Amino acid sequence: MAVAAAAAAAGPAGAGGGRAQRSGLLEVLVRDRWHKVLVNLSEDALVLSCEEGSAAYNGIGTATNGSFCRGAGSGHPGAGGAQPPDSPAGVRTAFTDLPEQVPEAISNQKRGVKVLKQELGGLGISIKGGKENKMPILISKIFKGLAADQTQALYVGDAILSVNGADLRDATHDEAVQALKRAGKEVLLEVAGPNLSQRTTRLGKGNHRCSLPGHQEGQMKYMREATPYVKKGSPVSEIGWETPPPESPRLGGGSSDPLSSQSFSFHRDRKSIPLKMCYVTRSMALADPENRQLEIHSPDAKHTVILRSKDSATAQAWFSAIHSNVSDLLPRVIAEVREQLGKTGIAGSQEVRHLGWLAEKVPGESEKQWKPALVVLTEKDLLIYDSMPRRKEAWFSPVHSYPLLATRLVHSGPGKGSPQAGVDLSFATRTGTRQGIETHLFRAEISRDLSHWTRSIVQGCHNSAELISEITTACTYKNQECRLTIHYENGFSLTTEPQEGAFPKTIIQSPYEKLKMSSDDGIRMLYLDFGGKDGEFQLDLHSCPKPIVFIIHSFLSAKITRLGLVA
H or E segment to which residue 371 belongs: strand 370-378
Q: Is the pLDDT of residue 481 over 90?
A: yes
User: In the prediction, which pLDDT does 337 show?
Assistant: 92
* Winning range, highest mean pLDDT, from 352-356, 389-393, 500-504: 352-356
The answer to whether the CB of 227 falls within 8 A of the CB of 194 is no
Residue 505: C-alpha distances to residues 484, 515, 537, 548 (Å): 12, 21, 16, 22
User: In the prediction, which pLDDT does 16 show?
Assistant: 38
% of the chain at pLDDT higher than 90: 51
Q: Which of 181, 186, 206, 125 lies closest to 158, judged by CA?
A: 125
Provide the pLDDT confidence category of residue 238 given band limits of 50, 70 and 90: confident
Mean pLDDT of the region 380-399: 93
Q: Which of 391, 379, 332, 339 lies closest to 356, judged by CA?
A: 332
DSSP 3-state of 357: strand
Q: Is the pLDDT of residue 422 over 60?
A: no
Lowest mean pLDDT, pick from 162-171, 336-345, 377-386: 336-345
CATH 2.30.42.10 placement within the chain: 91-230
DSSP 189-222: EEEE---GGGT----TTS------SSHHHHHHHH
User: In the prediction, which pLDDT does 246 show?
Assistant: 41
* Rounded-to-integer distance, Cα 548 and Cα 520, Å: 10
Amino acid at 125: I
Across the beta sheet with 470-477, the strand order is: 506-510, 491-496, 480-487, 470-477, 536-540, 525-529, 517-520
Q: Which of 16, 1, 18, 7 lies closest to 324, judged by CA?
A: 18
Q: Is the pLDDT of residue 318 over 80?
A: yes
Q: Mean pLDDT for the chain?
A: 77
Lowest mean pLDDT, pick from 33-37, 52-56, 92-96, 129-133: 52-56
Task: Kindly give the pairing relationship between strand 3-6 and strand 304-308.
Answer: parallel
Lowest mean pLDDT, pick from 20-24, 135-139, 223-227, 522-526: 223-227
Strands (E), 232-351: 270-274, 279-281, 293-297, 304-308
Q: What is the pLDDT of residues 519-554, one digit of tens each?
A: 999 999 999 999 878 789 999 999 999 999 999 999
* Winning range, highest mean pLDDT, from 161-170, 242-251, 420-429: 161-170
Q: Which of 147, 153, 148 lies closest to 118, judged by CA?
A: 147
Query: Which positions ≥6 away from 164 have C-beta within 8 Å?
Result: 183, 184, 187, 188, 243, 245, 246
Amino acid at 544: C
Provide the pLDDT confidence category of residue 90 given band limits of 50, 70 and 90: low
Mean pLDDT of the region 370-387: 96
Q: Which of 209, 175, 235 lies closest to 67, judged by CA?
A: 209
CATH 2.30.29.30 placement within the chain: 3-54+236-328, 330-467, 470-562
Q: Is the pLDDT of residue 100 over 80?
A: no
* Rounded-to-integer distance, Cα 367 and Cα 361, Å: 8
User: In the prediction, which pLDDT does 51 show?
Assistant: 57
State residue 223 phi and psi, 5-degree precision.
-65, -45
Secondary structure letter of residue 249 according to DSSP: P
The architecture of the domain spanning 91-230 is Roll (2.30)
Put residue 135 in one of left, alpha, beta given phi > 0 → left and psi -120 to 50 → alpha.
beta
Task: Kindly give the pairing relationship between strand 270-274 and strand 279-281.
Answer: unpaired
Please determine, looking at this structure, whether the domain spanning 3-54+236-328 carries the CATH number 2.40.128.120.
no
The architecture of the domain spanning 470-562 is Roll (2.30)
> Exposed e or buried b for every residue in 227-265, given b needs 16+ CB within 10 A?
bbbbeebbbbbbbbbbbbbbeeeebeeeeeebbeebbbb
Secondary structure letter of residue 548 according to DSSP: H
Amino acid at 258: P
Residue 415 or 509, more confident: 509
* Rounded-to-integer distance, Cα 148 and Cα 118, Å: 10
User: In the prediction, which pLDDT does 321 show?
Assistant: 96
Q: How far out from the chain centre does Cα 8 lie?
A: 25
* Rounded-to-integer distance, Cα 46 and Cα 320, Å: 14
Residue 561: C-alpha distances to residues 21, 504, 557 (Å): 41, 34, 6
Rg of the chain over all Cα atoms, to the nearest angstrom: 32
User: In the prediction, which pLDDT does 38 show?
Assistant: 93
* Winning range, highest mean pLDDT, from 91-105, 148-162, 397-411: 397-411
The architecture of the domain spanning 330-467 is Roll (2.30)
